[in-house]
Amino acid sequence: MTRTASATTRRRVPPAGDALFRDTAANIGRSPAAPFGRDKPRPLGITVYGCAPDEADLFQALAPRFGVSATTIAAAAPEAGIVPVPGNRCVSVAHKSPISRPVLAALKESGVDYVSTRSIGLDHIDLRAAEELGITVENVAYAPDGVADYTVMLLLMAIRHAKGIVTAAQNRDFRPPNVRGKELRDMTVGVLGTGRIGSAVIERLRGFGCRVLASDTRGQGPAVAEFVSLDALLAESDVVTLHLPLDAGTRHCIGRRQLAALKPGAFLVNTGRGALVDTAALIAALEEERLAGAALDVLEGEDGLFYFDCTERPIDNPFLLRLQALPNVIITPHTAYHTDRVLHDVVTATLRNCLRFDRSRADG
């Protein structure tokens, strides 16, 4: 079973009237290690895998407020080495590593019934295996502003050729670039996918005075955008930015045919998922100078590269090497979401998810 829970973005702790919070109010401020007597049962436990130091600090700070005992583990959930914590039926995982059938089976064997991923996307989890094993999987929804801000930043960097300017300046070459930049007010931006993040991008583009086109199978989004077909969006946009979830229907939704349909000299921005784009086809379009540039925060085959220090080991991803060699391609390591606000949203939503699941089992 897959469910989506929304994170609270404007309050740092739940209000006193929140049912989940009210029922655990007696445990507020209690250290996870504090003893519990017979009349005070042990708080609900959650094991958090792939936990960065700042995440661990926040889990330890917020968990007692929800009456939850959080065990944080720096390592991701591997196929071997699951850490069983007695009584912890809930676990939280990051999106940085795949949660395969063997991992899920190991979790189930250790007594886990519930997995919360600290991400919007679920494409790193074997959902069919989870269902067959009787494990409930849930994602979190966080405020879209951080990713939307980052998307607009990458878009501006692409159309102003920021990669070449910054690189030259770092090498003490302070001449203006050979190619002049473009201004957004003179451009048409196509937004593919108008969920929470895509809609937030559209709202930000309003202030630049550009024409905004949008395409989404749901046909929903801000009224300031002009909704058109995908073919029309590709043909008319100077910049296309991707904000679709990754699934079987959207994988390589920007392929050879779609890239060929783009206006000559267009830019592509992707802060969604790497596999939305046929990367081989994108590289061909860039090397043949049919596109003016690309700004990518996600990439096919990024697992094992992004989030790791690769300065002293060879890169075995040919896509990454070819893209980095191009002067008009900006690559960042899947960090559009990486803000303090999102961290707070995600940790809060994870704890609430765990409580909600436990309540549903108790009431069921």
316-343 per-position pLDDT tens digit: 999 999 999 999 999 999 999 999 999 9
The band of 364, judged by pLDDT with boundaries at 50, 70 and 90, is low
Rounded Cα distance, 59 and 68, in Å: 10
Range of the domain at 261: 145-331
Beta bridge partners of 179: none
> Same domain for 295 and 356?
no
Active-site amino acid positions: 273, 302, 334
Which tokens hold the place of 31? Answer: 């250290």
DSSP 56: H
Average pLDDT over the chain reads: 87
User: What pLDDT sits at residue 59?
Assistant: 97
pTM, two decimal places: 0.84
> Same domain for 152 and 86?
no
Name the domain count of the chain: 2
191 contacts 139 by C-beta, under 8 angstroms: no
> Same domain for 289 and 278?
yes
Q: Out of 21-30, 41-50, 244-253, give the one with best mean pLDDT.
A: 244-253
Domain with residue 284: its CATH number is: 3.40.50.720
User: What pLDDT sits at residue 288?
Assistant: 97
**Which distant-in-sequence residues (6+ apart) come within 8 Å of 199 by Cβ?**
144, 221, 222
> Same domain for 49 and 155?
no
Helix (H) or strand (E) run with residue 22 in it: helix 19-22
Write a three-state SS string for 118-179. Answer: CCCCCCCECHHHHHHHCCEEEEEECCCHHHHHHHHHHHHHHHCCHHHHHHHHHCCCCCCCCC
Does position 27 have pLDDT exceeding 80, yes or no? no
Higher-pLDDT residue of 195 and 25 is: 195
pLDDT, tens digit, for every residue of 279-320?
999 999 999 999 999 999 999 999 889 989 999 999 999 999
User: What pLDDT sits at residue 42?
Assistant: 62
Does position 39 have pLDDT exceeding 80, yes or no? no
Strand 188-192 and strand 239-242: the pairing is parallel
Rounded Cα distance, 189 and 267, in Å: 9
> Same domain for 6 and 130?
yes
Does position 236 have pLDDT exceeding 80, yes or no? yes
> Same domain for 86 and 234?
no
User: What pLDDT sits at residue 79?
Assistant: 57
> Same domain for 205 and 69?
no
Helix (H) or strand (E) run with residue 165 in it: helix 162-170
User: What pLDDT sits at residue 26?
Assistant: 33
